[in-house]
Structure 1
Amino acid sequence: MAIDRSIIGQETGRASLLMTRSRLRDFAVATGQRDPIYTDLEAAKKAGHPDLPVPPTFLFGIGMEDPDSAGFLDRLGVDLRFVLHGEQQFSYRQVAHAGDDLTVVSTVSDIYDKRGGRLEFLVQDSVVTNQHDAIVAEMRSVLVVQHPDPAAVAGEESNR
């Protein structure tokens, strides 16, 4: 089933998250950040930061803090088994730090298809702002929705 293109321009999610040192340290360790500015407050301050900086790709996860982050896909009738993360882009305006309260607002900016409609691409643009309403970053995410042959899906489900 094709994704309803009338959702282009609609907000798909909004989430806010306070940047805490422990959360930022955990993310830095989990993602293998080797620069001590991400885990050591003294190193961050020596490098000119007021606190631990937010690691570069951390912003992507803020939107997932919304318990309904994939709910809009479900409401569109998209089967999450056939969704892939296709692409992610970041455009940073300023560095965020521990203590900042960041908000991510996402909207659908485009939907297009390939392979005769068997693959649909849903483009989401997100804006990250801080507690002062200053833009921290802009992000673009592309989700790929596969529309497999219905007979193949039915056969797969009967084999369970």
Structure 2
Amino acid sequence: MIHRSDLLFFAQATGQQDPVYTDVEAARKAGHRDLPVPPTYLFCQEMKEAADSFGYLEDLGVDLGNVLHGEQSFVYHALAYAGDELSFSSELAADYTKKALRFLVRTTEVTRDGTPIANLSTTTVVTP
């Protein structure tokens, strides 16, 4: 579940100045039913929801000491709000080597009651 307190903490940590992300009344005046989930927050929620968010790397034999964050991308289909129950379904979409570096691309579909909310993509770089 998306908790308001987590959204408020994220807004503060990322320096969010728009009151739509920190004040429920401002959010409602702007046409939202509650605090909207800010851009990139779903990546944090995915890690929070997973029992072991890096377990797939260990399953692939990756030494976590050799891992670099490569890239993230988000495609949004609908807004998510405080109080929403979201489901995260992930898979390894690509695993390739380029110039001695291994690239792992993990995609995640985020839904609310079966309705698409977003598609997340994370590229992890594994160094030799």
Sort the TM-score into its range (normalised by shorter chain). over 0.9
Deviation at 1:107, TM superposition (A): 0.5
Using CA pairs under 8 Å that are at least 6 residues apart, name the structure with larger relative contact order, 1 or 2. Answer: 1
Unpaired segments ≥5 residues, structure 2: none
- AA in 2 matched with 1:73: L
- Give, in whole Å, the separation in 2 of the partners of 1:105 and 1:61: 14
Deviation at 1:76, TM superposition (A): 1.9
RMSD: 0.9
Q: TM-score, normalised by structure 1?
A: 0.77
- AA in 2 matched with 1:123: V
Residues 31-69 of structure 1 deviation map (CA, whole Å, 9 limit, x = unaligned)? 111100001001000000000001111001122122311
Identical pairs, percent: 51
- Counterpart selection for 1:137 from 114, 118, 122: 118
Residue 108 of structure 2 is aligned to residue 126 of structure 1 = yes
- Counterpart selection for 1:90 from 60, 74, 90: 74
Partner of 1:34: 17
| Equivalent residues, number | 127
Partner of 2:94: 110
Residues 83 and 143 in structure 1, CA contact (< 8 A), matched pair in contact too:
yes
> Which stretches of structure 1, 4 residues or more, deviate above 3 A after TM superposition?
none
Question: Larger Rg: 1 or 2?
Answer: 1
- Counterpart selection for 1:73 from 57, 60, 85: 57
Residues 60-119 of structure 1 deviation map (CA, whole Å, 9 limit, x = unaligned)? 11221223111121122110010111000000001101110112111011111111xx20
- Give, in whole Å, the separation in 2 of the partners of 1:81 and 1:145: 9
- Give, in whole Å, the separation in 1 of the partners of 2:106 and 2:119: 11
- AA in 2 matched with 1:125: T
Partner of 2:127: 146
